[in-house]
Amino acid sequence: MRPYVIINAAMSADGKISTKEHRQTKISGDQDFARVDRLRADCDAVMVGIGTILADDSSLRLKNPDLIAERASQGREEQPMRIVIDSQAKMPTDGDMFKKGTGRRVIFVSDKALEEKVVALAKQATVIRAGREQVDLEVVLDKLGEMGVQKLMVEGGATLLWSFTSQRLFDEIRIYVGALIIGGMDAPTLVDGTGFTRAEGFPRLTLKNVERIDDGLLITWAKKE
């Protein structure tokens, strides 16, 4: 059975996730950081695309020691499984995801990934081929279900979110809208990709909740079936 998929991300009031130079931008504050850590703790796995790793060198780890202890007391791994979608095996072997935190790391690559890169990554992570030209997310979700992942948190970036939303492979979206304007027609938006050309192709959402956090809003939607 495939996991329940929660997309979680932050954007500016004008829908941007970073500057046009793709520089990491602080959009939310301490309260939302704590919320994200709580959500990571509640999930079995956390996923990002390789673009996010290359831009931010994110470790994807839980940082709150109380949440780490809570997971351990429940008989779970201290850290959720950390997953990167990386079609061409570009993941740096000296990245923070390997240096910080414990637990299982999983890299999904395509058949196009060079074997020498796969072998190097396999020394530090479980590497799974899933797809010919690009990683096939349906195969990924099936594999994760087989690995016992029941709840998956997808954090971005924009290209990965396009893949999940365009294929309707999500159940819930939680977006923090920060109180700032980034601007720029070339600045990345929350969801990238080719976009939809017809209204009947748009994924439809059902509003579940709106909550004020710091000076921004956390908006929760469910996928409309």
Q: Model confidence at 23, in pLDDT bands (50, 70, 90)?
A: confident
Count up the domains in the chain and report the number.
1
Q: Does residue 20 carry a pLDDT above 90?
A: no
Q: Which of 4-13, 39-48, 179-188 has the lowest mean pLDDT?
A: 179-188
Q: Model confidence at 130, in pLDDT bands (50, 70, 90)?
A: very high
Q: Which pLDDT score, from 0 to 100, does residue 117 have?
A: 96
Q: Which of 11-25, 45-59, 72-86 has the lowest mean pLDDT?
A: 11-25
Q: Does residue 200 carry a pLDDT above 80?
A: no
Cβ–Cβ < 8 Å for 93, 125: no
Q: Which pLDDT score, from 0 to 100, does residue 171 have?
A: 98
**Residue with the two structure tokens 């791994």:** 77
Q: Which pLDDT score, from 0 to 100, does residue 156 have?
A: 87
Q: Which pLDDT score, from 0 to 100, does residue 128 have?
A: 98
Q: Model confidence at 207, in pLDDT bands (50, 70, 90)?
A: very high
Cβ count within 10 A of residue 197: 6
The per-residue pLDDT of the chain, averaged, comes to 95
Q: Which of 71-75, 98-102, 161-165, 194-198 has the lowest mean pLDDT?
A: 194-198
Listing from the earlier edge strand, what are the strands of the sheet with 216-223? 126-129, 105-109, 81-85, 45-49, 151-154, 4-11, 172-177, 216-223, 205-213
Q: How far apart are CA 147 and CA 54, in angstroms?
A: 26
User: What percentage of residues in the chain have a pLDDT greater than 70?
Assistant: 100
CATH number, domain of 141, equals 3.40.430.10
Q: What is the mean pLDDT of residues 26-52?
A: 95
Q: Model confidence at 163, in pLDDT bands (50, 70, 90)?
A: very high
Q: What is the mean pLDDT of residues 120-141?
A: 97
- Give the residue numbers spanning the domain of 163: 4-223
Strand partners, 210: 219
Q: What is the mean pLDDT of residues 5-25?
A: 91
Q: Model confidence at 64, in pLDDT bands (50, 70, 90)?
A: very high
Q: What is the mean pLDDT of residues 182-197?
A: 90
Q: What is the mean pLDDT of residues 188-205?
A: 88
